[in-house]
Amino acid sequence: MLPASELAKEQERLRKSGIPKEYQEKIGQFLSDGRLAGLSNDRLYFYAIRLRQIASLMPDSFLSPSVDDVKALISRLMDGKIGRMIKGWNKSGTYSD
């Protein structure tokens, strides 16, 4: 289980990022709601990282993206390093499509 200090470090990374304050506040609210709902620190950490990454990739439309914004985000994720990680790990130890 992930120690609470790791989640706190990720929240500090969010505060130090160039992401607009409004987005930071919404992510913080989401994490607080998740904590109140009983989500584990591991799950909250996962969400914190992913939301920070998405907010940095969608600086103008994070809170209300259009269908085209989401398509562009997915395309960008699948083309980059993050995209390779999303595709999945197979039994041979390499990433698969």
pLDDT tens, 17-65? 889 999 999 999 999 999 999 999 999 999 999 999 899 888 889 999 9
Alpha helices, H only, the chain = 4-16, 21-36, 41-57, 67-79, 81-87
- CB atoms inside a 10 Å sphere around CB 44: 21
Which amino acid type is present at position 55?
A: A
Instruction: Please state the φ and ψ torsions of residue 4, each to the nearest 5 degrees.
Output: -60, -25
What is the distance, to the nearest Å, from the Cα of residue 11 to the centroid of all Cα atoms in its chain? 11
**93 pLDDT higher than 60:** no
pLDDT of residue 31: 95
